[in-house]
A and B are shown apart, each in its own frame.
Chain A
Amino acid sequence: MDFGLPTQIAYPAIISLTFPFTLLLVTRLGALRSRNAAQFLAAVLLQGFVWILGSLALPDSYRPIHFSDWLFTAMLVASSFLFYLEVWALLSRGYTLSMLLTLLRAARPLSGEEIARQYRGGAGLDWIMRHRVGGLEAAGLVWADGRQLALTRPLGMLIAVAYRIAITIFGLRRTG
């Protein structure tokens, strides 16, 4: 294979490396405050827009010209966004990380019950249940029937079946 570095790699690399700064700016927007998913999406859209605009304006040797060049640079930029998404999801939704932070903020060792009680700044573990079920309801995957949770059909059931197939393919013994 040819190991020569394509010159079209330079601009997507800059876009990828500067993404954390764009995300930092977006988090300072009052309208998106505390909306972590929306903040990330807005930063991706903004950075994606800058990438396309720059790609059209760069000199020929640095910009994608053919469809194959656009595909290559788009994959490069998308890969960096996926990497940052993993980190962002961990920071903003990480269950285990939140337990570590509970221990960090405690002045002494905590029992399992104390971690559960002090979880998420004192909101407690049942916050997770409310938060996740709220998300599932908003997505139309479950519905609350009195004190019972019920799976919607066909959407909820479809996702559950797809999830079961994914567990089988990956060979996972335990999930969640």
Chain B
Amino acid sequence: MTPFKLLLLSFLALTMELAHAGPKIQHWQSSSGARVFFVENHTLPILDLQVDFAAGTAYEPAGRAGVASLTRALIDLGVAGIDETQIASRLADVGARLSGGVDMDRASVVLRTLSMADKRGPALDILRAILSTPQFPAAVLDREKARTVAALKEALTRPDTLASRAFWSAMYGSHPYGSYATPESVSSLERADVAAFHAANYTAPRATVAIVGDLERAQAEALADELTAALPSAPAMRGVAAPTVPAASEHRIAHPALQAHLLLGLPALKRGDPDFFPLAVGNYSLGGGGFVSRLMKEVRDQRGLAYSVHSYFHPLAQLGPFQIGLQTKKAQANEALKLTRAVLSNFLEQGPSEVELQAAKENLVGSFPLRLDSNRKILDSVAMIGFYQLPLDYLDLYPENIARVTAAEVKAAFSRHVRPEHLVTVVVAAE
């Protein structure tokens, strides 16, 4: 038996062993109509919750860029009868931690609390109030706008921010994914904008609730009902329009930084697309596989051009980006760009070698347990599966779906999703 076959066999054995290795996800609808996803796990006295709304920046009305983030920021800074200081103090009193954020698709409210009744009770009371009766006090709004503007102005002096904005703008043009807040757009926001955005997007049909940890099913059902009871039952989910893919272009921005920041990419992949698996396997070999990818070897190891070089797919509700990024000292920017393009075009022409393919699968399947070895990681996965309506056996089947990918499938998937005629390039701070 050849070593290769041996490898494949042991690999398949591993796959078999790992099939159905994902956590058991229970799913139902709350009485308000929110979708609930629950993983029961009593090994630690911890309860983790994530409530996601389809309320990301893609849903901002024209001229209101920044309202999604501002709404999310204000939602826990004052509820009926409880001001921002009391909210933070009551959470701290029981050791609970509230976090969250906003991306293109989602606005997230995340709570971690101890599961003992006297701890989780007060924490969940606060969470329920945040979801039910946010007040958006005018003075707090005013202050948070000022802080956001200050942070934006600072960010806009940074080469990485300038590169990222130019990149998304070039990829998406007038599509909502290409939108971003500016100091001016945030300054012009009013309380009515926030209230309207909240009313339109923080509703039960647009909500998913992920619960992981030390709770019984019946308790979880009651909790999900309570948390979402006050959410309006309309409007329902409305999708984000599909973007038109751009023509290839290159954008250069001057900056005094010592290093140039390079980004290459295009709108490439939706959540739920079956090509996700061949693209994940291929990207591992191209630029996703830590220290062993082609980009890492060529750009960093062999030439010392960069400290960090990566590629990834970022699937969203609509086509999310494929991105390659690196930083290198200014004088080397063009050399690094040329090399990066050569590595990409070679990969697109040839696809991965058999050795690369096996290495990618070995790592992606072998490291699967590491993706789920804490409640926090399980919460991340379950929230993503719930929000994007992926199959509940997504994690169970992940190893199999990776293991069956062929080199030809990788090459074909890349040729469908990463087409050079649509590739956008941004270079900030080149010489």
Q: Determine if chain A interacts with chain B.
A: no
Binding site for A on B (CB under 8 A): none
